[in-house]
Amino acid sequence: MSASRRERKHFERKRWMKSSKEPLDFETKNSYALTVEGTNTHLDLRFLNFGPFRDTARVHLAVEDVDEPPQFDTAFYLVEVYEDVAVGTTIQTVSAKDPDATNNSIRYSIDRTTDPTRFFYIDIASGALMTAKSLDREQLSWHNITILAMEMKNPTQIGSISVIIKVLDINDNPPEFVKDHEAYICENAKPGQLIQIVSAVDQDNPQGGHHFYYSLAPEAANNPNFTVRDNQDNTAWILTRRGGFKHQEQGTYYLAILITDGGLPMQSSTSTLTIRVCGCDTDGNVRSCNVEAYSLPVSLSRGALIAILGCIFILLVLILFILTIRKHKKQSLIIDDEENVHENIVRYDDEGGGEEDTEAFDIAALWNPREVQVTKSRRDMLPEIESLSRYVSQSRVGDDNVHNYILTKLHDANTDPSAPPFDSLQTYAFEGNGSVAESLSSLESATTEADPNYDYLTDWGPRFKKLADMYGGPENNEDSL
């Protein structure tokens, strides 16, 4: 078949399909047999003897199969489900099939753009639609999701259907006050006087409408000041039981009211009504209704209050005293008239800080003799053990006579045994006072070249026998030889 004939045949088929009254469906009917008649409507009278001027032809039409997306068995689904349904409950099963002769397997899914919060889940093979979260009619009463059906062998062929889900109401919310009520009562109120009308609301929507019941809460059933009267029209009156209210005695009352609905299961809640005592004129108009100021209990006398304040004052004084002592301990051991805390270069005159003989080696005085005129005392040394050289007359120390100053220091160290430095060599004049051995100093033994004689050790008694044997032994042995 040439290309021109194929194009002409395709054009004729399209023209035939456009002229058909209904869409063709290969799965319903795959062929048609037609009789086509052609008639000449404009006859020439000269050729009437050649008639008839019509002809018929038999036409066989074959419908070709094309791949079509899956089709559902209905146009849409409408599902009703109660809001207390358990999670995982199947609420609807959808069904779609491949209209082609191949009858491919179908897989189901949810278009998540229509269910962004993922309240529902569908089984991929069976098409069972289930709840994935708890439903709440008061938050969202309608859900409109789209279910997709896809052919396994040709994922490009996808069918869709809408599932409309209506969430039915159950009585799961208790009634409550329309708003936070706050009532006012005059000090001259009489018993049985109306002071407030209260009403309630409920988020539930029962079929028979709301019907609320009002009463005092069990803990306030014997309230001596106020009572509640149910009007049987979803409102209630708050009435006084007595008169003679005084703002000075009690400026605010709290009344607990129990509100119950008529649903199944029955729901109830307790709301608190605040009632303030106000000063009114003779016509009942409020003049003053200030919040009651805080006052001390009657049992707390003025003397007790003064005692409490005194204890607080003493405690503050003790804290300040402790902080002062801690700050004093952190001060430097050197008392200096000028305590410069700036970031300047500081010259330290005491070398070997922490030792008691630092004043004896004050070398800075050699370079700046005027420093010796500055008197500094130490907190960690008693005055009597400080260097006596600080009291030497400064007239002996000239600017260019350092030698005399050193001699003065040397004279002080030689003449005063108690003067520092304490780690210098000292001569002890009274060693072994009261001992028969007299002086044991090895310094005196260096003045003679003769061999020491230790015979006197035998005269000291048994206690020195061991020493006598050690030092007198060789001579005794020579004598015996």
Q: Is residue 80 domain-shared with residue 55, that is, in the same domain?
A: no
Task: Determine how many CB atoms are found less than 10 A away from the CB of residue 355.
Answer: 15
Q: Is residue 101 domain-shared with residue 10, that is, in the same domain?
A: no
Task: Determine how many CB atoms are found less than 10 A away from the CB of residue 360.
Answer: 20
Q: Is residue 184 domain-shared with residue 278, that is, in the same domain?
A: yes
Q: Is residue 161 domain-shared with residue 180, that is, in the same domain?
A: no
Q: Categorise residue 209: left if φ over 0, alpha if ψ from -120 to 50, beta otherwise.
A: left
Closest to 19 measured CA to CA, from 59, 54, 57? 59
CA 276 – CA 103 distance, rounded (Å): 79
Enter the pTM of the model: 0.46
Instruction: Out of 15, 40, 62, pick the residue that ends a domain.
Output: 62
Determine, yes or no, domain membership for 37.
Answer: yes
DSSP assignment string, 192-213: T-EEEEEEEE-S---TT---EE
Q: Is residue 81 domain-shared with residue 163, that is, in the same domain?
A: yes
Q: Is residue 182 domain-shared with residue 212, that is, in the same domain?
A: yes
Q: What is the pLDDT of residue 145?
A: 96
Q: Is residue 51 domain-shared with residue 141, that is, in the same domain?
A: no
Q: What is the pLDDT of residue 384?
A: 43
Q: What is the pLDDT of residue 449?
A: 55
CATH number at residue 90: 2.60.40.60
Determine, yes or no, domain membership for 197.
Answer: yes
Q: Is residue 139 domain-shared with residue 114, that is, in the same domain?
A: yes
Contact 134, 151 (CB under 8 A): no
Q: Is residue 46 domain-shared with residue 133, that is, in the same domain?
A: no
Place of tokens 């080696």: 361
Determine, yes or no, domain membership for 334.
Answer: no
Q: Is residue 96 domain-shared with residue 127, that is, in the same domain?
A: yes
Instruction: Out of 24, 41, 62, pick the residue that ends a domain.
Output: 62
Determine, yes or no, domain membership for 134.
Answer: yes
Q: Is residue 190 domain-shared with residue 270, that is, in the same domain?
A: yes
Task: Determine how many CB atoms are found less than 10 A away from the CB of residue 406.
Answer: 12
Q: What is the pLDDT of residue 378?
A: 45
CA 218 – CA 200 distance, rounded (Å): 19
Burial of 98 (0-12, 13-18, 19+ CB in 10 A): buried
Q: What is the pLDDT of residue 118?
A: 94
Question: How many structural domains are present in the chain?
Answer: 5
CA 268 – CA 202 distance, rounded (Å): 10
Asked, as a colleague might, if the bond just before 52 is cis with ω within 30 of 0, I would say: yes
Q: Is residue 190 domain-shared with residue 233, that is, in the same domain?
A: yes
**Host domain of residue 89:** 71-168
Residue type present at position 451: D
pLDDT mean by block of 10 residues, the chain; 481 residues: 49 51 68 80 76 80 76 93 94 90 86 94 95 93 95 89 94 86 85 91 86 92 92 92 87 92 88 89 74 46 81 92 81 52 52 49 50 46 44 45 75 69 54 56 53 74 80 53 39
Instruction: Out of 235, 257, 288, pick the residue that ends a domain.
Output: 288
Contact 160, 111 (CB under 8 A): yes
Determine, yes or no, domain membership for 58.
Answer: yes
Quote the tokens at residue 211. 């019907």
Place of tokens 């009403």: 199
